[in-house]
Amino acid sequence: MVIPEDIFQEFVDSEEAQEYYREHNSKRDDVAEEKIRPLIDDFQSDDVDIVEFKSRIDGLNKRNQLWGFDGFIGQMHFNKLFNAAPDEVDFGDRLREAIQPPESVDEAGAKIDSFAEYTQRLKDNDIDSDPFPKSTIFFLSYFWHIQRPTEWPIFYPTSEQYLGDVGLLDTDAPYGTRYVNFVETLDELRVEAEPWLESPVEYRDVDNATYWHEDWDDSEIEEEEAGGGIEETETFVDVDKPYLPPVVADLDEVAAGTDEAVNRYAPVDTDLPIIFEQKCGTLFEMLGFDTEVLGQGSGRNPDGIAEAARNDYAVIYDAKKREEGYRIGRDDRTIREYIETHTRRLRDQGKRHIYFAIVSSSFRDTEESTLRDLRTNTDIDNIVLLKADVLQELLRMRLEEPYLNLDDVEWVFGNRPGEIQSEELENIVPEWRQSDSEFSVS
């Protein structure tokens, strides 16, 4: 087994390694700062509940495969914990406390031991989900590292194995103690690496040098760090981007009433709100729904009903053109009327699930109690808020990857109430397709 000094020397001598990890670290910094940390903050402040947090973390890590969280000991472990927890609110509160970065290594060890014990209790009481207590070390350290990358390293199994093989880590120690020893060992290695690596040496620099070493099989590295070459790409679709038909390529601009949209449709003797309704209907048809366009001129009706005839569900949708974003406010009475008017007929037609979707440029001041009341007191299964550009991205995915069907698309409308974020669309991709190294969602 090669000693750390030789690994550091080899890492520094490789221009390929330096270039790769310089770019890799830059991507990590950008994604963590711009996307994941804000989401964690929203979760910690109760602005995002556990259901939405789990879904969005999943989508972000599938889109940005930079830390290995999308694998068995990350997101899959998260799913197992959630499924095993008897009370999702209690689980969310426990997780909020657990992912708060510790102030000392002793506190880190105590947090890991405590959450591992909690995981063991869930495991004992739910044989189907079967969460694995050891995964706690990676799971919590990932969230700590995202929030404070220079203070808390991620506990990768590859690092554990290497350090154990060279006698620098007791891999049989209790989980909390193991992580404390892991941090202390990496602190020593950071000092040893200073003659080779640029100062200050970070925890990830030591990890990167270890991963790069030729003794490690490339497939292990790809599984651990999910470095399958899937780079982060822009979330939304430009007009000139393939797979997005021109007729709906400016849906987001029309929804917001931008100057470009106003000027584009000025020669047309039709108001932008009506154009937006028409484009929404067209987009639902392109997704594969049988769409009945209602809207203005049809009385007190929603703008349309999109039926998945072979999939036994339907989406009642309403398009709201707004420059400053849409707020439900007192519209809940109108929405309730739309639901009551159409759900009985749809149930009589055999629709097992009926959803309500509001499409707009953006959303503001949404009260969860309003959505909850609509779900509780009407015959609707779920109500979702979709920004126009998220709906465009859904269509792009559907057209680019024909294997996606309306069963997959139903996840968007039925998974949870509230605003669906773009990164959550990753969850409609079947697991067998996610493992395809040539596949990426734009």
Confidence at residue 431, expressed as pLDDT on a 0 to 100 scale: 62
Please give the Cα distance from 211 to 92 (Å, whole number).
34
Quote the DSSP letter at residue 363. B
359: left (phi over 0), alpha (psi -120 to 50) or beta: beta
Q: Which helix (H) or strand (E) holds 320?
A: strand 313-320
- Starting at the edge strand found earlier in the chain, the sheet holding 353-360 runs 290-293, 304-308, 313-320, 353-360, 382-387, 418-419
Please give the Cα distance from 189 to 197 (Å, whole number).
11
Confidence at residue 161, expressed as pLDDT on a 0 to 100 scale: 84
Per DSSP, the three-state class of 278 is: helix
The parts of the chain modelled with pLDDT lower than 70 are: 1-3, 127, 213-243, 269, 296-299, 402, 430-442
Query: In 3-state terms, the chain is what percent helix, strand and coil (to 5)?
Result: 55, 10, 35
Confidence at residue 217, expressed as pLDDT on a 0 to 100 scale: 40
Q: 438 φ, ψ to 5°?
A: -90, 0
Confidence at residue 385, expressed as pLDDT on a 0 to 100 scale: 96
Bridge partners (DSSP) listed for residue 315:
306, 355
Q: Burial code of 201-240, b = ≥16 C-beta within 10 A, e = fewer?
A: bbbbbbbbbbbbbeeeeeeebebbbbbeebebeebbbeee
Confidence at residue 206, expressed as pLDDT on a 0 to 100 scale: 85
pTM: 0.63
Per DSSP, the three-state class of 27 is: helix
Confidence at residue 265, expressed as pLDDT on a 0 to 100 scale: 87
